[in-house]
Copies of this chain bind each other. A is one copy, B any other.
Amino acid sequence: MPVAKLGNPCLLRMGVYLCGMIKAGILGGGQLGRMLLQAAANYPIETHVLESDPDCPAAHLCHHFTAGNIRDFNDVLAFGRKLDVVTIEIESVNIDALEQLESEGICIIPKPSTLRLIADKVTQKIFYRDNQIPTSEFEITESRDALQQFPDFFPGVHKVGTGGYDGKGVQLLETMADVALGFNERSVLEKKVNIKKEISILIAVDRNMRMAIYPPVDMVFDPTLNLISYQFCPAKLSEKVFQKSEAIAIKVVKDLKSPGFFAVELFIDADDRVLVNETAPRVHNSGHHTIEACYSSQFDMLWRILLGYPLGNPKLIMQAAIVNLVGESGFSGVAYYEGLEKILEMDNVFVHIYGKAATRPGRKMGHVTILDTNDSALLHRANQIRNTLYVKSASNF
A20: contacting residue among B41, B44, B335, CB under 8 A: B335
Assess A336 versus B34: contact at CB under 8 Å? Given A42-B350, A309-B344, A353-B43.
Answer: no
- List chain B residues, Cβ under 8 A from A313: 347-348
Distance of A319 from chain B, by nearest CB (Å): 12
Q: Complex: how many Å from CA A318 to CA B47?
A: 32
From A365, which residue of chain B is reached at the shortest CB distance? Answer: B44
How many residues of A are counted as interface, with CB atoms below 8 angstroms from the partner's CB atoms?
48
- List chain B residues, Cβ under 8 A from A394: 17-20
**Cβ of A371 under 8 Å from chain B:** yes
Q: Are B353 and A397 in contact (CB under 8 A)?
A: no
Q: Are B38 and A60 in contact (CB under 8 A)?
A: no
Assess A47 versus B60: contact at CB under 8 Å? Given A304-B344, A310-B344.
Answer: yes
**Cβ of A188 under 8 Å from chain B:** no
Q: Complex: how many Å from CA A291 to CA B211?
A: 27
Q: Are A34 and B44 in contact (CB under 8 A)?
A: no
- List chain B residues, Cβ under 8 A from A357: 20-21
**Cβ of A341 under 8 Å from chain B:** yes
Q: Are A344 and B312 in contact (CB under 8 A)?
A: yes
In residues 301-357 of chain A, which contact B (Cβ within 8 Å)? Answer: 304, 309-310, 312-313, 315, 317-318, 334-337, 340-341, 344-345, 347-348, 350-353, 355, 357
Q: Are A341 and B310 in contact (CB under 8 A)?
A: yes
**Cβ of A127 under 8 Å from chain B:** no
Q: Are A17 and B397 in contact (CB under 8 A)?
A: yes
Assess A345 versus B310: contact at CB under 8 Å? Given A41-B61, A62-B60, A317-B318.
Answer: yes
**Cβ of A257 under 8 Å from chain B:** no
A295: contacting residue among B60, B309, B347, B352, CB under 8 A: B347
Q: Are B47 and A336 in contact (CB under 8 A)?
A: no
Beyond A42-B353, A44-B355, 13 additional contacts (C-beta under 8 Å) are A20-B357, A38-B38, A38-B41, A41-B355, A42-B351, A42-B352, A43-B351, A60-B62, A60-B63, A312-B344, A313-B347, A317-B317, A317-B318
23 pairs across A/B with beta carbons < 8 Å?
Answer: A17-B336, A19-B334, A20-B335, A21-B355, A34-B41, A37-B41, A37-B61, A42-B350, A42-B352, A42-B353, A43-B351, A43-B353, A44-B335, A44-B337, A45-B355, A47-B60, A60-B62, A61-B61, A295-B347, A304-B344, A309-B341, A313-B348, A317-B317
